[in-house]
Amino acid sequence: MHARQAAARPSGKAVHDLLIVGAGFAGMYMLVKARELGFTAQVLETGMDVGGTWYWNRYPGARCDIESLEYSYGFDEALQQEWKWSERFAPQPEILDYARHVAQRFDLKRDIRFGTRVVSARFDEAANLWHVGSEAGELFQARFLVMATGCLSSANLPAIAGMESFAGPTYHTGRWPHEPVDFTGQRVAVIGTGSSAVQSIPIIARQARELTVFQRTATYSVPARNAPLDAAYEARVKADYRGFRARNERMPAGFGSNLNANPASALEAGAEGRERAFEERWRQGGLGFTRAFGDIVLNAEANAYAAAFVRRKISALVRDPATAALLSPSQPVACKRLCVDSGYYETFNLPHVRLVDISQGGIERITPHGLVAGAQDYSFDALVFATGFDAMTGTLLRMDIRGRGGLALGEKWRAGPLNYLGLMVAGFPNLFTITGPGSPSVLTNMIVSIEQHVRWIGACLAWMRAQGRRRIEANASAERAWVGHVNEVAGQTIFPGCNSWYLGANVPGKVRVFMPLPGFPAYDEKCRAVAAAAYEGFELA
Ligand code: N01
C-alpha cells in the first residue's frame, strides 16, 4: 500500500486503501489523516450531512457539556484560531455548523457518500480485503476498514407493549426530526431522565400545556452556568492553544486543565471544608464539580459526601418535598454519567409539570391516548423517548461484521466486547474501531480521544507501509490481558457500582461488562509504548 499505488486508484474506484464508516468527528478527522498520509479513503455515512451525533441529536436544548474551547479539533492551528464559539458550552446547531465548516475547509465531502448505511463487512483472507455492503445493496472494497461509528449512535427504544398504538407523534431525542417541533398547547410526556432529558425538559416545559416526566432512576445534575464565551479567556487560550490542548491531554478525562482539580481527599477536608469546596464548584457550574476533591470517583465514602451535597441542593431547589425526594438519586454521584443542566430541577416547580415514579413496575403499556404505569392511565398528545442508546457496542453489532473464517463479531462478543486497546479485535484483521470499548472514549472529552486514536491508526498504517506489511491483527492473549486490565482499572473506581449504560445495564438482555477505560494519560502512554515496540500485542503479516 504505497502512496504512489494509492494515487493510481482514485477514490470511487474498486479498491480503497481505507473505508471509513461514519462522518462524525472521528470519520472526518480519519479522512483528513488518510489524505495527509497519501492513502485513498472513502467515508460511508448514513446521514445526509457530516456531524455524527450532532447531526442526529437535535432535541430542544441539546448542547455539549464540555467547554467549547475544548470540544473542538486541535489538529490544525489555523482552524482552532479562526473558529469563534459564542458560548461557554456550545449549542447543537453551532457544533453542527463547526462540523460543516471543517468539512468545507478541508474539502471533505468529495470523499463522503451520504445516505449510505453500512450493514455488512466481510474480510477476504486471500486478498486481504474488506468487502463492505450498504443497505441499498452497494458493495465497497478496501484494505483497511475504520469504524468511526460513535459510542452513542444506536437509539435505545424500549420494547413496551402497545408501542405502535399511540395515536400522536413520538420522538426519540437521538433521532429528532430536522424540521422544528412545536409543543405549544400540547400535553407532552417524556420517558427518561438522563442527559438528553435533563437538557430538553426545561425547554419542552416552556412550550407544553402539560408535561409529564416518567422517571425510572433519579439523576444527579449540576448547573451549567452557561454564558457567552468570555473574550479575555478565549484570547488567553488562543495565545497558546497548543499548550492548552497538551495540558488537557494530561488530565484523567482529557479535559478541564482550567478547572484547578483539587487532588486532596474529601475525607480529610472536614465538614466545613467540603461544603465550601462543593459550593464553590456548584457556583462555577459544569463537570468540574467532581474535581472538588481527588477521590470523588475513587472512594465510595468521598463520593457519598458529594452525593449528599447534590441531594441537599435538590431539596433546596424543588419546593414540593415529595417531588424533591423522588428527584433525589441514591446511587453514587457520577456513577451514571453526571448531567449538566440549565434549570432542570427548578422545572418541577412549575404547576403544569409533574414527575411520575416508574422505578417499581416500569411502563406497563402504551395506549392510543397515552400510557399505563402503576395501574394508572396517563393521557397526552406527544411522546418523547429520552431513553438513550445501545452504547459503545450497539452500532457495531447491528452490522454483520465477519472476520477470519467467517467469524461474526456478534459471536465473538457474545460475553461482552473483547479487543486490544479498544482499537482492534483478534480475528478481525485490518479493522480499527475509533473510541471502541476498552478505550477511555466516553469517560473523556470525545474529541481528545478521537484525535488520539486517529493519530495512532494513521501512524500504524504509515509504519506498515514503510515495513511492507499488509495485515495487522490483535493478538488473542494481548486482548484477554487488555480486557482484564480494563476491568481491574474500572474496579478501582465507583463507576461499575450502578446500572449505567457504561455497563450496558440500560438495554434489556445486554451483557453486563464495564466498557470504557478510566484514565486517558496512562492509556495514551500505553498506546505510544505499543507503537514504539513495533506494535507489540499485534500480529503483523
Ligand atoms: O441517555 P441515558 P441520554 N423505561 O441512557 C431511561 C451523552 N449525552 O440520551 O437510568 C423507562 O443517559 C433511563 O433510566 P435508567 C452523555 O454521555 C451528552 O440521556 O436506565 N425509562 C434514563 O433515565 C449521556 O450520558 C450530552 O433507569 C427508561 C434515560 O431513559 C449519554 O449521551 C447530552 C427505559 C436514558 O438516559 C446518554 O444520554 C445528551 C425504559 N424502558 C447526551 N429505558 C451532553 O453533552 C431507558 N430509560 C450534555
Residue 287, helix vs strand vs coil:
helix
Give mean pLDDT, residues 65-89: 98
The predicted-structure confidence for 519-537, as pLDDT tens digits, reads as follows: 999 999 999 999 999 999 9
The predicted-structure confidence for 396-405, as pLDDT tens digits, reads as follows: 999 999 999 9
Protein residue whose Cα sits closest to atom 3 of ligand 1: 388
Residue 14 is predicted with a pLDDT of 82
Q: Report the DSSP pairing between strands 187-191 and 382-385.
A: parallel
pLDDT bracket for residue 6 (50, 70, 90): very low
The predicted-structure confidence for 443-470, as pLDDT tens digits, reads as follows: 999 999 999 999 999 999 999 999 999 9
Opening angle at CA 295, ends 290 and 297, nearest 5: 60
Residue 4 is predicted with a pLDDT of 34
* Cα-to-centroid distance, 500 and ligand 1 (Å): 9
Residue 356 is predicted with a pLDDT of 98
The predicted-structure confidence for 183-230, as pLDDT tens digits, reads as follows: 999 999 999 999 999 999 999 999 999 999 999 999 999 999 999 999
For ligand 1, say whether the CB of 337 is within 6 Å of any of its atoms: yes
* Cα-to-centroid distance, 149 and ligand 1 (Å): 19
Give mean pLDDT, residues 34-53: 98
Q: For a pocket test of ligand 1, which of 63, 213, 216, 512 has the largest count of ligand atoms closer than 8 A to its C-beta?
A: 216
The predicted-structure confidence for 356-395, as pLDDT tens digits, reads as follows: 999 999 999 999 999 999 999 999 999 999 999 999 999 9
Residue partners of 322: CB distance under 8 A and separation at least 6: none
For ligand 1, say whether the CB of 58 is within 6 Å of any of its atoms: no
Q: Are 132 and 142 in contact (CB under 8 A)?
A: yes
Q: Are 427 and 403 in contact (CB under 8 A)?
A: yes
Which three cell numbers mark 193?
431522565
Residue 11 is predicted with a pLDDT of 38
Residue 265 has pLDDT above 60, yes or no: yes
Atom of ligand 1 nearest to the CA of 505: 20
Residue 12 is predicted with a pLDDT of 45
* Cα-to-centroid distance, 217 and ligand 1 (Å): 10
Locate all alpha helices (DSSP H) within 211-299, ordered by sequence: 231-239, 241-249, 270-284
Share of the chain above pLDDT 90, in %: 97
Residue 8 is predicted with a pLDDT of 31
Protein residue whose Cα sits closest to atom 5 of ligand 1: 388
For ligand 1, say whether the CB of 506 is within 6 Å of any of its atoms: yes
For ligand 1, say whether the CB of 386 is within 6 Å of any of its atoms: yes
Instruction: Please state, rounded to an integer, the average pLDDT across all residues of the chain.
Output: 96
Protein residue whose Cα sits closest to atom 17 of ligand 1: 337
Residue 208 is predicted with a pLDDT of 98
Residue 66 has pLDDT above 50, yes or no: yes
> pTM for the whole thing?
0.96
Q: For a pocket test of ligand 1, which of 25, 289, 337, 445 has the largest count of ligand atoms closer than 8 A to its C-beta?
A: 337
